[in-house]
Structure 1
Amino acid sequence: METYHLISEEAKKKLLIVLACSLVFSSMSATMFNIALPTISKELFLTSSQSSWIVTSYMIIYALGSVSYGKLADKYKLKNLITVGILLFSIGSLVGFFSNLYSLIIISRIMQAMGASVFPASAMIIPARYFSPEKRGRALGMTSAGLSFGVAIGPIISGIFTTAIHWHYLFALCIIPIVFIPFFRSSLDNQEGSDVKLDWLGALLLGLTITSFLLGISTNHIYYFLIAILLVCFLIWRIRTAQEPFIRAELFKNKRYTLILVLFAMSSGIGFSLPYLTPLFLTDVYHINAFNSGLIMFPGAALTALLSKRGGVLADRKGPAFLGYVALTSYFICFINLSWIAGKTFYFLIVILMFGYIAQSYFQMSLANMISQVLEKAEIGVGMGLFMLTNFIASSIATTLMGASITMGTSTLSFNIFKLENKAAIYRDIHLVLTLLVVLMFVIYFFSVSKYTFNKVAKDQPRD
């Protein structure tokens, strides 16, 4: 049964606006504590390893929650799940605001993540469930705008609050989404999913697997990876033996869906280099502080938020595959230029970053639209959840690899054809590798994904 008619057009518009605003707070909370970590560490006498868990604990739970809410949305009312998520997010923020103990701050971050992870899951589910294919791109454009704007203003707000007031007020800011609960409850319908038993053992095994894997990445200890491998074996056993497994094996038998996940993993890893590498790049090469780095990065992320709706319209008119080509082209322009700009004027860097931020947003929008076409209705919830989970895992892997590259330097494996200083050469080499990965993505996209989507859009959607 189609679900596009379950809520009115007016309610859909209001729903998208409120969802986009919620996503601003969700994405801000995921990133703005990075800027505050040095101040928090100094005030609470934390080691760098301890302070990193303020971010790592959030990202692990945030990743797990994206899948869990996607699965729960197949069984429970979406409005109830969003209500619970916002309450957890706000309560966790309140705990963090009044906390001066490291342990309580970690608990508050975990509670925040348990609640905030309902937003990225909803950002994928609501467009797929309530918007017809010819309007779905616009809806995904709105949600992408919210995520992009949160990323854009997160570092700036963090810098202002940390230096002018106190880092505790970063938690206070995250209490605001509680005012959105009445809007969600009045806009969403009362539809419930099928009455199926949830595979809690499968969910636990998936959670432990991901946690062990991310711990291995963040701590660089091999025994976490060995535990993760063992847990993967148990998870595969559970998927094969459970009557209603948490993740159905049929989902990965869908080759198009699997390829979309691979492409999104590559895009997430490449795209995360922008917020991760750029501040380090500006500090190491240009000696610019974190706050001013945020100001340099702001125009690109802000422009992406403004153009996200346009990207959605483009996907509706030309098809999501066309939007994907625009994104891949923008990625190439960004990273090929970043590979030679290192050590030169940073004013041009502001323009180049715009292409990268737009590419990341448009490619996610394109692939999310494709997923809504290649999956059955009953699979969209968990399918979209795994889609978002891929983002966090790939970003964590990319962070580790890029960090290791910077630490090791390029004294023996350098492509320093521009004769740059060593620090600039390190970043140039990384950007060259990212450029090659973009070319590989283009090849996979052209031969394995986009042709199918072009045909499907041409068949399903009316022409202008």
Structure 2
Amino acid sequence: MSAQAQHQYPLNCPTGRWTMFSTILATSMAFIDGSVLNVILPSLQKDLAANGVDLFWVLNSYLLMLAALIIVGGSLGDKLGRVKVFKFGILVFTIGSALCGFSQDITQLIAFRTIQGIGGAFMIPGSLSIISAVFSREEKGKAIGTWSAATTIVTICGPVLGGALADAGLWRFIFFINVPLGILSMVALHLKVPESREPGASSVDWTGATALVLSLAALTFGFLEMPEWGYSHPGVILSLILGTIFLLVFVIIEKKVKEPMVPLDMFRDKTFSGVNLLSFFLYAGMGAVMLFLSLNIIQIQGYSQLQAGLTFLPFSLIMLVAARKMGELTGKYGARRFLIIGPTITGIGMAWFSFIGMTDGPSEYWTTYFPPFLTFAVGIAITVVPLTTAVMACVDDSKSGIASGINNSVTRISGTFMNAILGAIAVLIFGNYVIEALEAVSASDLMKAEVMGEASKLGEASAPENYNDEWSKKINSIFDWGFLEIYKMVCWISASLAFLSAAIAYFMVEGKKV
């Protein structure tokens, strides 16, 4: 299908329905894996004997490949065929998911998550570009709203399923479930969804992609190994220097190459630059607060993993009500006001979380975590659809895949940096808190060494089994309050990033209708 033959189907025709079904089903696999991991991390950590840094690598090995290659995936779709590249991404993601389920140790899981990330990079940008190519311009806003609502609902329901499976000792099935979903979506795409491509689409910038992969990998390695090796370790310093150099090389490549992976001239559009900056800071904060919130309520507050998954249901219900309506409101009033209001409300919810200390567990959920969860969910519901729509409206249809890829890459890069930097800070602050608390209770040098050996596990840390009841209670209390300290710090950092996102929308997003 040529560019001229696109934009011809209504949402409620058979082709429209199959397009929505296959793109939502496939994209949901990637989004579920992103959200459900926060809930199953405690089971995964225990079964695979992982420490705190290992957990951040499980998250970042996926995000790193996704961030670096997602723009390549969008470009390849425009050039070779969006449906074809989308199916290839689903295949790789499905294989990676199966391998993750069979992982026997944390190193294997980290490696197989990398394969998942490669598949996701070729899969995720295809969904919106296929929708943009298939539907008429009048129907596109409703289609994007439906896609956003459905994928968000599935994503938020994922933790409930993940929590139930994790409590039953079946966390591996979170990965295995992607196999039938992947096969079904590939069949539907092959049989029912028309192919589309841009005959004049640019070539793939593999050199730029390689530089970006090396930069993100080196920076991630440097930050995450910093707590164990120390600030001044040659390996940490060299890794951070190399990461910075490769990032500069990437920018130089993008300026000079004939057909860049990231066309820098797209950022001359003030609104396009604004929504991507907003995405970077908002998603960085959102990912951080959701991760530490999940670990807090499971490992510190005593929620089961199923109960932790159920705490995410306000997201599902609010998105069900709000997402499609937000698509209509964005079309009527424009994105700007919603991109100011939404992140502001989100930031209030994030800050609210920080005021919750030690609780008596799930029995106090409605008076402790539910009000800020509700506020947080309302803010995100107001933001998601206008943000997605604004990104796609800033470019013409021939660059829809690249625009989607850039925005998705920005959100994943923000998550990669946030996990690496906050992971390092969290381990360092937690360790310092524990050692100071041990000195305050006059612990022996041997006890300090034994307890600090546990401290690398963060929220999973517990007193050594050979300690008597009195010392076990003291040590576990130190661990709990130490984790709450870093959790509160993350909440305030995340809230600040959300407020910064609202300010960016105020100054950089144009007020015209989208």
| TM-score category, normalised to shorter length | 0.7 to 0.9
For 2:396, the equivalent position in structure 1 comes to 376
Q: Which one of 247, 260, 282 corresponds to residue 267 of structure 1?
A: 282
Partners in 2 of 1:322 and 1:2 — Cα distance? Answer: 33
Q: 1:203 and 1:192 mapped to 2: Cα distance?
A: 21
> 2:191 maps to which residue?
186
Residue pair 2:282, 2:343 contacting (<8 A) in 1 also: no
1:428 deviation in Å? Answer: 4.8
TM-score when scaled to structure 1?
0.83
Report the Cα offset of residue 275 of structure 1: 1.7
User: Residue 141 of structure 2: which of 124, 132, 137 is its match?
Assistant: 137
Tell me: CA distance 1:405–1:164, structure 2 relative to 1, closer, same or farther (3 Å): closer
* 1:15, distance to aligned residue in structure 2 (A): 1.2
Alpha-carbon distance in structure 2 between the residues aligned to 1:33 and 1:333: 25
Task: Check 1:210–1:193 CA distance in 2 against 1; reply closer, same or farther (3 A cut).
Answer: farther
Distance 1:256 1:386 in 2: 14
Letter in structure 1 aligned against 2:505: Y
Amino acid at match of 1:368: T
Kindly indicate whether residue 294 of structure 2 is the aligned counterpart of residue 279 of structure 1: yes
SS in 1 for 2:311: helix
TM-score by length of 2: 0.76
**1:227 corresponds to 2:246:** no
* AA of the residue aligned to 1:81: V
Of the three residues 160, 163, 187, the one matched with 1:159 is 163
Kept in 1, the 8 Å contact 2:334–2:512? The answer is: no
Q: Contact 1:23 / 1:143 at 8 angstroms: preserved in 2?
A: no
Query: What residue number does 2:444 align with?
Result: none
Q: CA deviation at 1:407?
A: 5.4
CA contact (8 A) 1:78 1:188 kept: no
- The code of the aligned residue for 1:346 comes to Y
Cross-structure match for 1:199: 205
> Alignment partner for residue 311 of structure 1, among 316, 326, 332?
326
Relative to structure 1, the CA distance from residue 215 to residue 154 in structure 2 (aligned partners, 3 Å threshold; closer, same or farther) is farther
Q: CA deviation at 1:445?
A: 1.3
Asked if the contact 1:67/1:386 (under 8 Å) is kept, the reply is yes
Residues 29 and 174 in structure 1, CA contact (< 8 A), matched pair in contact too: no
1:331 corresponds to: 346
For the pair shown, which has the larger CA radius of gyration, 1 or 2?
A: 2
RMSD: 3.2
Match of 2:505 among 445, 455, 458: 445
How many Å separate the matches in 1 of 2:121 and 2:343? Answer: 27
Give 1:48 shift: 4.9
1:346 aligned partner: 365
Contact 1:93 1:174 (C-alpha < 8 Å) held by counterparts: yes
**Whole-angstrom CA distance in 2 between matches of 1:86 and 1:434:** 32
Q: How far 1:263 moved relative to its partner? A: 0.9
For the 8 Å contact 2:215–2:243, the answer to whether it is kept is yes
Corresponding residue number in structure 2 for 1:111? 115
CA deviations 1:6-53 (Å, max 9, x no partner) are: 445412233123322222221122343444444445444555544553
Kindly state the Cα deviation for residue 227 of structure 1 after the two structures are TM-superposed.
0.9
Q: Give the corresponding residue for 1:408.
A: 429
Once residues 64 and 167 of structure 1 are traced to their aligned partners in structure 2, the CA distance between those partners, rounded to angstroms, is 28
> Do residues 321 (structure 1) and 330 (structure 2) align?
no
- SS of residue paired to 2:262: coil
Corresponding residue for residue 442 of structure 2: none
Shift of 1:138: 2.4
Question: What is the alpha-carbon distance in structure 1 between the residues aligned to residue 175 and residue 99 of structure 2?
Answer: 8
Displacement of 1:78 in angstroms is 0.8
The reply to whether residue 455 of structure 1 matches residue 498 of structure 2 is no
Give 5+ residue unaligned stretches, structure 2.
227-235, 434-480
Residue type matched to 2:247 in 1? V
Q: Distance in 2 between matches of 1:25 and 1:96?
A: 14
Per-residue deviation at 1:386?
1.5
Q: What letter corresponds to residue 189 of structure 1 in structure 2?
A: P
* 1:222–1:310 distance in 2 versus 1, CA, 3 Å: farther
